[in-house]
Chain A
Amino acid sequence: MQDFLEKCFESILQGDKEGAVKLAKESIELQYDPLKVIDEGFVKGVKRVGELWEEGTYFLPELVLGAEAMKAALSVLQPILLKKNIQREKTSKLLIGTVQGDIHDIGKTIVATMLQAHGFEVIDLGVDVPNHAFVQKAKEQKVDFVCMSSLLTTTMQNQAKVIEELAKAKIRENLKVMVGGAPTSQDWAKQIGADLYAENAVEAVNVAKSALQH
């Protein structure tokens, strides 16, 4: 079993999507405990990939390859967990999008993918998302997080407006707001009353996870 878990770990580290999927399927055939395979194999891999990025060894596409392999393995194993009625950990629903007037896509999508790779259920609204669409979807889907991305100082004003509208719709207290994108900062988050800020996709996962514990 230990060897098998090691292979799972390695497949994520190498960003080998096919390999990870194959191992996930094999683990089902071998009737390995899916929870163990995920947490002690694949999750360890995706954590390591994040560390390698943060210490400056991995480049962004390598981080993304790891996240994609992880996502693929999870999509094989999650139905099994569901069938066996096993709860992994507190899962949460997350809404993400690039704010109105802003068409910058790639940063937001990387963040969404990393969060998915860590087991978050992510609803991606895309780019140029009208303020009211964030609010409406958050209400409809009863999400735990609303995450907003902006590339420019002009468009980041809409992050503040969405927060106001969430309050008007009386759902601000039910969820956490996380903001990010090049011109934003911890100070900006504080200024507009956002709960969380992260500088990059790995930090976004850490910040969202620690918010779940509180």
Chain B
Amino acid sequence: MLKILKKIDLTIDEEEILRLLAHHKRKEETIKTKLLNLIKETKALSKDMLHPQGMFKIVDKMALKEGPYFRGEDMIALGLCTIGDELENKVSQLNQQGKLAQAVMLDAMGSVAAESTADFLNLQVCQWCQKKGLGSSQRFSPGYGDWSLEGQRFIFSLLPAERIRVKLNPSCMMIPRKSVSFAIKIGEEFKSLKTKKICETCNLKNCPYRK
């Protein structure tokens, strides 16, 4: 089963933007007006530059070559999404114009938007699973934990990435920059995983199954 979503509605969480732009020792202080204005201005600027698209494919584990990451699950959902390249081109342009602060802000918004697009796809996978009476694991991505970045080649070999104009370069970097790939394990055994604990670590805040 392959599903391609060409139009996705996003909500961009300002707190997430601030989180990306804060030092890890961030103090909870009031945000200065100048920064708030920059956020507002940049949000307006970014409005027509976000082109979130994505796809996911549900594959039988039996159909996959034996990999080190997938063991014992019934099925796996593979996902890929992007916000397109318009935003990052604007970031470069702002940079060249000497407007680095706004470039930094816009770049962070792009990151949050890419992550939200992945959240949206994740939700679609969860809903598909629910309909089938199956459970799903948390999403995980090549380059995180013990799944090496080379796992990108595996994902790209199974998804028609060109349909949303995402490419993988020889160093396993996706172009456009603001793109995310992931896998979700699907199976009966994950139904019991939907515990409070797993929801706490998940950033799908509007998930209907959130506990």
Contacting A at CB under 8 A, from B140-185, are: 143, 148-150, 169-173, 175, 177
Beta-carbon contact of A109 and B95 below 8 Å: yes
**Chief secondary structure at chain A's binding surface:** loop
Using an 8 Å CB-CB cutoff, how does the interface string of B18-37 with A read, 1 for contact, 0 for none?
10011111110101101100
Beta-carbon contact of A53 and B23 below 8 Å: yes
Nearest 6 interchain pairs by C-beta: A101-B171, A56-B25, A61-B101, A60-B21, A56-B26, A64-B101
Beta-carbon contact of A102 and B173 below 8 Å: yes
Residues of B contacting A109 in the complex (Cβ-Cβ under 8 angstroms): 95, 100, 103
Beta-carbon contact of A154 and B104 below 8 Å: no
Q: Give the nearest-CB partner of B102 in chain A.
A: A61
Residues of B contacting A208 in the complex (Cβ-Cβ under 8 angstroms): none
Of listed A54, A61, A64, residue having the most chain B CB within 10 A: A61
Residue A106 at the B interface, CB < 8 A?
A: yes
Residues of B contacting A153 in the complex (Cβ-Cβ under 8 angstroms): 143, 148-149
Residues of B contacting A53 in the complex (Cβ-Cβ under 8 angstroms): 23
Known: A60-B104, A64-B101, A68-B98. A103 touches B173 (CB 8 A): yes
Beta-carbon contact of A106 and B23 below 8 Å: no
Beta-carbon contact of A56 and B22 below 8 Å: yes
**Chief secondary structure at chain B's binding surface:** loop
Contacting B at CB under 8 A, from A153-181, are: 153-155
Residue B195 at the A interface, CB < 8 A?
A: no
Using an 8 Å CB-CB cutoff, how does the interface string of A57-75 with B read, 1 for contact, 0 for none?
1111110110110000000
Q: Give the nearest-CB partner of B88 in chain A.
A: A105
Beta-carbon contact of A64 and B100 below 8 Å: yes
User: Residue A61 contacts which of B92, B104, B171 (CB distance < 8 angstroms)?
Assistant: B104
User: Residue B171 contacts which of A62, A65, A113, A155 (CB distance < 8 angstroms)?
Assistant: A155
Known: A101-B173, A152-B143, A153-B149. A56 touches B23 (CB 8 A): yes
Residues of A contacting B193 in the complex (Cβ-Cβ under 8 angstroms): none
Contacting B at CB under 8 A, from A52-110, are: 53-62, 64-65, 67-68, 100-106, 109-110
